[in-house]
Amino acid sequence: MTIRSVIIGTGSYLPKNRVANHDLPEHLNTSHEWIVERTGICARYLAAPDEYTSDMAVEAAKRALNVAKLTPQDIDMIILATSTPDHTFPATATRIQSKLGMSKGFAFDQSAVCSGFVFALATADTYLKQGMAKTALVIGAETMSRLLDWTDRKTAVLFGDGAGAVVLQAQQGTDRGILGSLLRTDGCGYDELYVNGGPSTTQTTGVIHMNGREVFRNAVHRLEEAVEDILQQCDVSQEEIDWLVPHQANKRIIDATAKKLGLPDEKVIHTGNDHANTSSASIPLALDHAVRDGRIQQGDLILCEAFAGGFAWGSNLIRM
Ligand code: ACO
């Protein structure tokens, strides 16, 4: 019988410090109006100095486990999607494993920047279908504020910190679960959006550099491809989609994808206005948000999509 990877719990976490556009440092020489018009962002949450990616991931994971009515000992795999690990190595996922008190199974990090959660869901789905694990935590967690150049208004206004998690369980005889995933990369976009540091190059952490226009242009047309192709792959028509749960980089990019799908705005989950771009955390944060407020219900068909540095992009089609 076919094995499906079913989402049985969602959770998320935002740091306490909410910074509205009006609260941004004056030296950035920006305005609430400019940021809202170009991106839709009104605020972001920033981690406390002693708050790490693993701390936020653990909080989101605990909430997802609580919903799933499971304990950490029921989990046999953790995949953490992040570009902001606590340390260069070991994998931050192993730190999450020990902070949760989970002593079995395995845990590793996956890096595809803002598409990290889409890639991690696809990876977890494959592992569960192969029988390598039965119950997985898939987490997206980021302290993007640590990668920002706070003198660069082109990037500093765009990002925030946070974490989101789902519990995935291998089940048989169900029509729920991940129906399909589509993953793409094109390394020709490497220099358009990158962090100018790293262990093997500068031995520093570095800060984000982005050619915003080029990223925007690529995001719009490659996401069109990502949503069209996954629907075709899964033999699903666009009318069947109940919710679009997109990566929250820019409202204009999301609107373009929704338009392509013929989805009205009421069917699109928007959290970027309040959270900004939390990279790999943004999809699970948005998903948890809409599950908790009762919009997304069991049985709904949801489409997740993301575009990121690399370039890396993709989508997952999920029956909740
Ligand atoms: N406040 C005020 N003015 C600003 C700001 C700001 N925060 N930032 C830039 N400007 C100015 C620029 O200096 C420029 O001024 P000039 O014309 O005098 O030179 C003008 O605004 C236009 O700048 P652009 O960069 O061309 O603005 P654009 O309309 O392209 O919007 C943005 C910039 C919002 C970054 C947009 O390009 C975008 O969203 N790009 C895609 C981002 C994205 O999707 N990222 C993907 C994932 S992120 C990841 O993977 C980590």
Q: Which of 56, 81, 210, 91 has its CA nearest to residue 148?
A: 210
160 shares a domain with 22: yes
> Are 133 and 148 in the same domain?
yes
- CATH number where 306 lies: 3.40.47.10
Q: Which domain holds residue 99?
A: 3-172
Report the nearest-CA residue for atom 14 of ligand 1: 154
Residues 312 and 191 in one domain: yes
Please work out whether the CB of residue 211 comes within 6 Å of at least one atom of ligand 1: no
For ligand 1, whether the C-beta of 153 sits within 6 Å is yes
Question: How far are the Cα atoms of 194, 256, 268, 291 from residue 264, in angstroms, in the given order?
Answer: 33, 11, 7, 19
Do 185 and 306 have their domain in common? yes
Last residue of a domain, one of 142, 157, 172: 172
Active site residue 188: no
Q: Does residue 304 have an active-site annotation?
A: no
Cβ of 308 less than 6 Å from ligand 1 = yes
**Ligand 1 within 6 A of CB of 223:** no
* Of the residues 153, 172, 191, the one at which a domain ends: 172
Catalytic residue among 21, 218, 250, 277: 277
CA-closest residue to ligand 1 atom 39:
250
Task: Check: CB of residue 26 under 8 Å from CB of residue 158.
Answer: no
Ligand 1 centroid from CA 52, angstroms: 28
168 shares its domain with 202: no
Ligand 1 atom closest to Cα of residue 30: 1
Same-domain pairing of 149 and 88: yes
Helices 212-234 and 251-261 cross at an angle (nearest 10°) of 30
pLDDT (tens, 9 = 90+) of the chain, 320 residues, equals 799 999 999 999 999 999 999 999 999 999 999 999 999 999 999 999 999 999 999 999 999 999 999 999 999 999 999 999 999 999 999 999 999 999 899 999 999 999 999 999 999 999 999 999 999 999 999 999 999 999 999 999 999 999 999 999 999 999 999 999 999 999 999 999 999 999 999 999 999 999 999 999 999 999 999 999 999 999 999 999 999 999 999 999 999 999 988 999 999 999 999 999 999 999 999 999 999 999 999 999 999 999 999 999 999 999 99
Write down the pLDDT at residue 5. Answer: 98
Query: How far lies 218's CA from each of 207, 210, 224, 246, 263, in Å?
Result: 22, 13, 10, 16, 21
Identify the residue whose tokens are 């666009």: 238
17 included as an active-site residue: no
Residues 40, 167, single domain; the answer is yes
Q: Which of 21, 218, 247, 275 is catalytic?
A: 247
- Give yes or no for residue 113 CB within 6 A of ligand 1: yes
Atom of ligand 1 nearest to the CA of 156: 7
Residues 91 and 238 in one domain: no
Domain ends where: 131, 147, 172? 172
